Amino acid sequence: MTGPIALPGAPLPLSTTQRPPAEAPVPDEIRRAAEEFEAVFLSEMLAPMFESLSTDGLGGGGMGEQMFRPMLVERYAEAISQAGGIGIADAVMREMLRMQGETVSPEAADGAGR
C-alpha cells in the first residue's frame, strides 16, 4: 500500500496538494458580542447568590443597596468575563463563526486575543 488507510466514518486525509481553508481572525464585533453574552449569563447565575445576603452588610442596607446591588452583580459578571470568563464566550464565538461559514482555530477563539 502506498497511502494512508481511511477508516469508515473517519475524515479523509488531505493530500499534499490540498490545504485546509485559511483560518480567519475573529472579528472584534463577534468577540465583543460573545463576551457580553457570557457576562449576561454570569450575571444571571450570580444574582441568586447575592439575593440571599442580608442587606445590613455589604453597602449598609436599606433601599439604596436594594437598588444598586443588581448593578454590582452586573459589574462582577463583566469583570469575570473580561478576565477570561468560564469558556462560554469562546464556545459562542466559535458557533457564531460556524454559522457564518468561517473557520477559526480553537487557539484563536480561546480568548488569546483578550
Highest mean pLDDT among 26-30, 36-40, 55-59, 62-66 belongs to 36-40
pTM of this prediction? 0.59
With 0-12 CB in 10 A as exposed, 13-18 as middle and 19+ as buried, what is 91? middle
Q: Name which of 21, 9, 46, 38 is nearest 104 in CA terms.
A: 21
Which residue, among 89, 76, 68, has the nearest Cα to 43 in the 3D structure? 76
What gap in Å lies between CA 32 and CA 24, rounded to an integer? Answer: 16
Which pLDDT score, from 0 to 100, does residue 43 have? 93
Please state the separation of Cα 69 from the chain's center in Å: 24
Q: What is the pLDDT of residues 59-97, one digit of tens each?
A: 566 777 778 888 989 999 999 988 888 888 989 988 988
C-alpha grid cell, residue 30: 463577534
Domain residues of the chain, as ranges? 28-109
